[in-house]
C-alpha cells in the first residue's frame, strides 16, 4: 500500500508511524509531509529514513491511504480534494465529523459504516476511548443515561502542550515563575475544568463532541450523554469516570465477562490487588483499560459505574486511524 502522512512532525504523525509498524500494516511506499518549515529534513521512520516533503495537492497523488494528522484548517482545505483523487483519507481533525456523508469510525463499534467512503473521520480522543467500553455495555443492557467526568492529559494540546507541562513543572519545583502559553492557565499541579470553547448551553465544545460523536458512532441519535471535560497535569493518557443508567437491570458478572472479552479493552479491575486503570499503566498501550466496575448506588439495579483510561495519542488518535485503514483493507 502507498501511504502518505500529513503532519509527520507532530506527536500524532509520529505515533501513526509506530502504529503502522506495530500493526504490520502493509506499507509499500511511505511519504511524509509537513509544513515548509520542516520540508527537506531527514527523519527516521520504522520503514527507513525519509526526507520530509512540503505538502501540495500535486505532490500528494496516487496514494492508497492519506492520514491527516494536522489541524482542522488544513483538513477543511484539502480533505475532500484528496478524497477526490481516489485515496482513502483518514482525518484526525474534528472538521468532517458532523458531516452526513463522512463516516465517523471506531472500528470495534461501527467498521461497517465505512462502506465505500473515501473520506473517513477519526473521533475525538475522549469519544474513542469511551466508545470501546461503552458500546459493549450498550449492546447488552441498553443505555438510558450516560454521565461522564474526564481527566484529560496535556497531549490533547499536542507536543507543545506536553512540553509546557514538563518545563513549567520544573519551574514550579525550582520556585520560579510558572508561565502558560498553550494553556489558558498554568497547568503544573493544577487542573483546568475547560477544554475548547464554550457553547451557549454552558458546555464546552469538547464536552459536546463526546455526545455528538458517540450518537453518530453508535447510531443512536437521541442518546442522553453529558460530559464534564477537565484537563489535569498528566502527559498522554485520558481517564473518564462514567456513570450509566441502563435499560435492563445490570448483572455485574455479565458486565465483567463482556468487558473481559471486548476488542480493544483491557479488563483492569482487581481492586483488592490495587489494580485499576491509570495513566501510569496505560500510556503507550493500545488497549483501553476499564476498572472500578460496580453497581451505581443512585440508579440501583439499573446503574453502573466504571473508570476508563486510554492513551490519548493511540486509541484517542493514531491507533484508531490505522485500525480504520486496516478495516478498509480487510473489508475490500
Query: Could you list the active site residues?
Result: 125, 238
Nearer to its own copies, 91 or 311 (CB): 311
Asked if 211 is part of the footprint of its own copies (rule: CB under 8 A), the reply reads yes
Asked if 1 is part of the footprint of its own copies (rule: CB under 8 A), the reply reads no
> 252-260 and 125-141 helices cross at what angle (nearest 10)?
130
Nearer to its own copies, 45 or 228 (CB): 228
Asked if 297 is part of the footprint of its own copies (rule: CB under 8 A), the reply reads yes
Strand runs (DSSP E) across 24-85, as ranges?
29-34, 42-45, 48-51, 53-54, 65-68
Scanning 10-18, 77-85, 124-132, 291-299 for contacts with its own copies by CB under 8 A, the matching segment is 291-299
Asked if 307 is part of the footprint of its own copies (rule: CB under 8 A), the reply reads yes
Quick check: 217 and 127 in contact, CB under 8 A?
A: yes
Asked if 110 is part of the footprint of its own copies (rule: CB under 8 A), the reply reads no
Nearer to its own copies, 38 or 228 (CB): 228
Asked if 151 is part of the footprint of its own copies (rule: CB under 8 A), the reply reads yes
Quick check: 179 and 172 in contact, CB under 8 A?
A: no
Question: Total residues contacting its own copies (rule CB under 8 A)?
Answer: 56
Task: Write 25-30 long-range contacts (CB < 8 A, 24+).
Answer: 25/1, 25/322, 25/325, 25/326, 26/1, 26/329, 27/1, 27/3, 28/1, 28/2, 29/1, 29/2, 29/3, 30/3, 30/4, 30/5
Smallest separation, CB 227 to its own copies (Å): 9
Nearer to its own copies, 136 or 277 (CB): 277
Distance CA 49, CA 147 (A): 46
Quick check: 318 and 15 in contact, CB under 8 A?
A: yes
The HSE-up count of residue 141 (CA atoms within 13 Å, CB side) is 27
* Strands laid side by side in the 88-91 sheet: 53-54, 29-34, 2-6, 65-68, 88-91, 119-121
Asked if 107 is part of the footprint of its own copies (rule: CB under 8 A), the reply reads no
Nearer to its own copies, 173 or 331 (CB): 173
Out of 49, 272, 330, 332, the residue judged to bind its own copies by CB under 8 A: 272
Asked if 78 is part of the footprint of its own copies (rule: CB under 8 A), the reply reads no
Asked if 205 is part of the footprint of its own copies (rule: CB under 8 A), the reply reads no
Distance CA 281, CA 1 (A): 33
Distance CA 16, CA 10 (A): 10
Scanning 1-9, 66-74, 134-142, 295-303 for contacts with its own copies by CB under 8 A, the matching segment is 295-303
Q: Which residues bind its own copies (CB under 8 A)?
A: 145-147, 149, 151, 165-166, 169-170, 173, 184-186, 189-194, 198, 201-203, 211, 224-226, 228, 230, 232-235, 239, 241, 243, 271-272, 274, 276-280, 291-299, 303, 305, 307
Amino acid at each position: 500500500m502507498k501511504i502518505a502522512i500529513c503532519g509527520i512532525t507532530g506527536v500524532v504523525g509520529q505515533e501513526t508511524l509506530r502504529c503502522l509498524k506495530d500493526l504490520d500494516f502493509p506499507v509499500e511506499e511511505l511519504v511524509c509531509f509537513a509544513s515548509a518549515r520542516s520540508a527537506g529534513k531527514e527523519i527516521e521512520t520504522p520503514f527507513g529514513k525519509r526526507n520530509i516533503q512540503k505538502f501540495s495537492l500535486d505532490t500528494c497523488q496516487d496514494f492508497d491511504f492519506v492520514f491527516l494528522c494536522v489541524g482542522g484548517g488544513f483538513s477543511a482545505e484539502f480533505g475532500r480534494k484528496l478524497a477526490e483523487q481516489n485515496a482513502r483519507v483518514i482525518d484526525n481533525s474534528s472538521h468532517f465529523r458532523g458531516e452526513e456523508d463522512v463516516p465517523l469510525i471506531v472500528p470495534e463499534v461501527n467498521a461497517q459504516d465505512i462502506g465505500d467512503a473515501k473520506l473517513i473521520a477519526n473521533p475525538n480522543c475522549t469519544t474513542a476511548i469511551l466508545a470501546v467500553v461503552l458500546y459493549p455495555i450498550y449492546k447488552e443492557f441498553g443505555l438510558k443515561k450516560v454521565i461522564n467526568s474526564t481527566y484529560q492529559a496535556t497531549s490533547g494540546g499536542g507536543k507543545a502542550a506536553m512540553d509546557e507541562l514538563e518545563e513549567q513543572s520544573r519551574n514550579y519545583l525550582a520556585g520560579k515563575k510558572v508561565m502558560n502559553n498553550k494553556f489558558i492557565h498554568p497547568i503544573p499541579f493544577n487542573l483546568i475544568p475547560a477544554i475548547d470553547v464554550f457553547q451557549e448551553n454552558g458546555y464546552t465544545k469538547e464536552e459536546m463532541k463526546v455526545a455528538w460523536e458517540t450518537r453518530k458512532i453508535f447510531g443512536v441519535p437521541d442518546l442522553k450523554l453529558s460530559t464534564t471535560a477537565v484537563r489535569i497535569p498528566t502527559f498522554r493518557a485520558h481517564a473518564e469516570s462514567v456513570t450509566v443508567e441502563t435499560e435492563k437491570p445490570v448483572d455485574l458478572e455479565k458486565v465483567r465477562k463482556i468487558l473481559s472479552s471486548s476488542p480493544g479493552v483491557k479488563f483492569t479491575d482487581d481492586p483488592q490487588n490495587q489494580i485499576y486503570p491509570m495513566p501510569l499503566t496505560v500510556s503507550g498501550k493500545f488497549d483501553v483499560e476499564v476498572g472500578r466496575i460496580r453497581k451505581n448506588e443512585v440508579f440501583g439495579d439499573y446503574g453502573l459505574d466504571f473508570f476508563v483510561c486510554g492513551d490519548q495519542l493511540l486509541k484517542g488518535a493514531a491507533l484508531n486511524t490505522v485500525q480504520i485503514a486496516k478495516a478498509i483493507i480487510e473489508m475490500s
